[in-house]
Every structure is written in structure tokens, then in C-alpha cells.
Structure 1
Amino acid sequence: MSYEFDFADVFSAWPELLQGLLNSLVLSALAMAIGMVVSVAGALGKTSGPKWLVRIIDEYIELIRNTPFLIQIFMIYFGLPSMGLKMSSNTAALLALVVNVGAYGIEIIRAGIESIQKGQVEAGKSLGMRPLQIFRYIILKPAIQAIYPSLTSQFILLMLNTSVCSAIAASELTAVAGDIQSRTFRSFEVYFVATCLYLGLSVFFWTVFAGIERAFLRKPTR
């Protein structure tokens, strides 16, 4: 093999890579936070809402889960402007990520809610608790404890999906790596470094999620 590895050009563009990494981190964190709100609201609507609302949520879930994420991004970034809803690439990327993770998150949280024994809910009603209080204090935390591994895995996949947002020139890590590669023509070196950075970002989120579990969700030992 005559190929000579040369990381000099890549390392000279290190500030750009770090900025792309930071942008990916911010984009992922925002999408996770907003997506969690969408997921909880959608799961609540699906488990206790009126039939017409359940139907709408079901259609939303099926639409998102049965279409490619790349097409969803294109529909938001290129399709919505034809309806007068124009937005920046970063905003479109955030919206697409939230819409995508929300559909999966609703089903994950719904499964957790339905795993709660009905007797616990009936006990809350007998104490005079309102439906929102029952959901918050009796259902939500035990449900999240049950589905936390699945939910955090979905969030990690969301973070990795930010790389697809480079297709609409969102300023995240993969887009920055592509720009550097087009200037330096060091494809292997650029994408090898980008791979390592994504791995580091995954480890970072896993560490954060593990800390949250230890601090707030770990079941008490007897």
C-alpha cells in the first residue's frame, strides 16, 4: 500500500472541527430536551386522550417511523418553504430531529406508562389526586425507570443522526468534516478524526445519562 497518512492538514483545521463538535453537541442536547417534552405529551395524549387525538398521534408515529430520516429533513427544509414556512438549515435540522425522536419516544414512554399497575392509579384517585398529579407523581417516574435504557439509547441514535443534517448544510460536525475534506483531499484522515469525535460525543452522553440515572432514577435498595 503506497498511501501515506498525513494528519497535518486535519489538525491545522482543529478549531473548525471543535466548533462542529460543539454545534453537534448543542443541536443534540436541544433536540433531546424538546423531544422529551414532545414524547411525554404525546404518550399522555395516547394513553388518556380522546379518540381523535389518539388517532392523530398514531398517524404521526406511523408516518415518521416508516419514512427515512433524510426524507423528513428534506420535507422540512425544502418542502415547507413552498408553503411559506422558510427557516435556516440549523432550525430545520433541529425541527427534523425533534419530530423524528418524538415519534419513537412516544411509543417508548407509552410502553412504560402501560407497565404501571392500575392499582397504583386507583390509589391516587382515592386520595383525591388530579389526573395530572397522578401522571406526574405515580406514573411518570416509575415508567421512566422502566424504559430509561431504551430511551437513552434512542437519544444516542438521535445524536448520531445529526450527521445526516449535513445534507442540508447544517453547521454540525459532519458538514465541517466535509468542508475540510474538500479542501485537503485527505478523506481517510478527516473522517477518521470525525469518527473519533463522534465516539467521544457518544461516551459523553452515556456518562451524562448514567449520572442522571444514579442521581434521580435509581431504585432504593432494601
Structure 2
Amino acid sequence: MLAAPFRNTAIRSFKTVPSMVRTKIVLPDLDFDFGDLEPYISGQINELHYTKHHQTYVNGYNTAIEQLAEAKHAGDVKKTIELQQHIKFHGGGFLNHNLFWKNLAAPKNGGGEVPATDSALGLAIKQQYGSLDSLISLTNTKLAGIQGSGWAFIVKNTENGAIEVVQRYNQDTVTGPYVPLVAIDAWEHAYYLQYQNVKVDYFKAIWNVINWKEAEKRYTK
């Protein structure tokens, strides 16, 4: 009796299984301890913001990416479209918060120190806005004008070199020609435990811990 023809079922089965080996995103290391930004931002807010809210975006993005691979493999177009929205939201939340934490520094480590007047960033601000205070005032106006949740970004427009202030809602982030220099979170979780419904006081206070050296790096990069 002739032997049955060999069938490479192992290889065929392997091809039907989507690869689930992916590098997951993780929370970034902070350059300060939770309490280092007090009294301007409380340690409790920073701890909750970082370990709960930022972690939620990390988890949500990782989960959505895994589910997207499964949906694509199954040919589930509807699910694939739905997951794109989750990826945009959680991925934006992850990126925006990464920018936000790097924007902050304890006063003892230079937080709130304004750009040098002869630095590239300092000169550009002076030329466009007359003073740093004018740029801060515009940014605070943009922040106060956000209805619901969102962000304000001081950005460099690479198309014309201008420094601009833009709003983004929910977890939308800056793209295209914009390089974010300063990112400020206007979601309630960033301030409510300390400032409650007086968010304008949070917008005023945060400038005392803004890391302008980081902004300078981004501007000249």
C-alpha cells in the first residue's frame, strides 16, 4: 500500500494565525518626583494623572492594536474602522502626555525659568509677540476657550518658522508642519483636585513649572 501523500499542515496552520508578538508602549520615566511641582501642581494630582490617566491611554492603545490585528486577520472591516478611533484617541493621549511631562520641571531644577533673551527661542518670541507675557496670555486665552476637554500647544510652524498657539480637543495632537514646543493639558483630571472649577488659576500657576529649556531644545531641533 502506498503511503498517503505528505501534507504540511503545520505550516498551513501557522500561516492562518496572526503574529501577536509586538512591542507594547509603556509609561515614560518622569524627570521629577510627584511632589516636586508643588505648590503649583499637587503631588496627588501628578500621581493620579500619571499612574491612572496616562496609564489608561497606554493600556487602551496596546489593547486596540492587538484587537486591530485580529480584526484585520478576520476580515472584519467594521471592527477595523471602529478600532482606528480607539487607536487615535489612546495613541494621542499617550503622545500628548509624554510631551506634557517633559514640559514640566521642579522650580529647583529650572521650572519657570524663562528663555534667555538672546536665545533662539527668546528672540523669536520677542520678535513675534513683543514679550513672553504676551505669548503666555494668548496661550491662557486659548486654554480657557476649550469647551470640555482638550489641549493648547505652543508650536513652531516649520513652513514659515512662526511660533503659534493652537487648540486641540479631546486627545487630538499636533501633526503636519507643527512641532510642539509646550503642551498644556486642559482636561479636568489635570487640575480639578486642587483648583476645582477655577481652571484659570491652574492655567496661571502652571507657568511656574514650565520647562522652557525643553521648549528651546524642540525649537532648535
Q: TM-score, normalised by structure 2?
A: 0.28
Q: Which protein has the bigger helix share?
A: 1
Q: Which structure would you say has the larger Rg?
A: 2
